[in-house]
Amino acid sequence: MTKKTSTSSAPQAAIDAAGELPKTAMDFAGRYSADAIKTLSNCQGKYAAFINQRLSEDFAMPQRLSGCKTPMEVMDVWADFYSTAMSNYTDHARNLAETGTEAVEEFVREVEVEAEEMAQTTGKVLKAANANDGTKAA
């Protein structure tokens, strides 16, 4: 009669451990994709609000200009309009750059964590592949 002391072998352990690598990578890709979509949605919302604000000010310009009595008043209205517009565009560009920077920094942090996890999984694969299988039929 033969007696099995173990049903697992070193090659099977290596295969099982190696099977974790794609799963780990796919889990990360799924998490990152969800985060990227949230960030993109946030940026789109900010952009829509910015465009709405700018259009409101743009459409108000004819009314402001029609109230001018002198050429100097027209120049003042236009100067104020362009100064405000440039300030708005600068602020919006800065906000988008900050949002992008935050997203990239978070991605780098996540990649570092993921790389460590994958290194640990790879270590398990190598250890299992190099293990001496001492289980034999008796």
Is the pLDDT score of 41 beyond 80? yes
Residue 137 within any structural domain of the chain: no
- On whether residue 4 sits in a domain, the answer given is no
In a domain, 92, yes or no: yes
Q: Which of 20-29, 39-48, 114-123, 128-137 has the lowest mean pLDDT?
A: 128-137
Q: Does pTM surpass 0.85?
A: no
In a domain, 32, yes or no: yes
48's tokens? 């829509």
Dist. CA 131–CA 72, nearest whole Å = 87
DSSP letter, residue 107: H
The range of the structural domain enclosing residue 27 comes to 10-130
CA atoms of 5 and 7, how far apart (whole Å) = 7
**Minimal CA–CA distance to 14: which of 107, 132, 135, 113?**
132
- Look at residue 40 and tell me if it is in a domain: yes
Does residue 72 or residue 1 have the better pLDDT? Answer: 72
Position with higher pLDDT, 124 vs 90: 90
- What is the distance between the alpha carbons of residues 82 and 30, in angstroms, rounded to a whole number? 44
Q: At what angle do helices 10-66 and 71-130 cross, to 10 degrees?
A: 180
- In a domain, residue 3? The reply is no
66-89 mean pLDDT: 96
- Amino acid at the residue 116: E
- Give how many domains the chain has, as a whole number: 1
Give me the percent of the chain exceeding a pLDDT of 70: 75
Confidence of residue 15 (pLDDT cuts 50, 70, 90): low
Comparing C-alpha atoms, which of 129, 33, 7, 109 is closest to residue 121? 129
- Is 66 within the bounds of a domain? yes
Residue 54 lies in a domain: yes
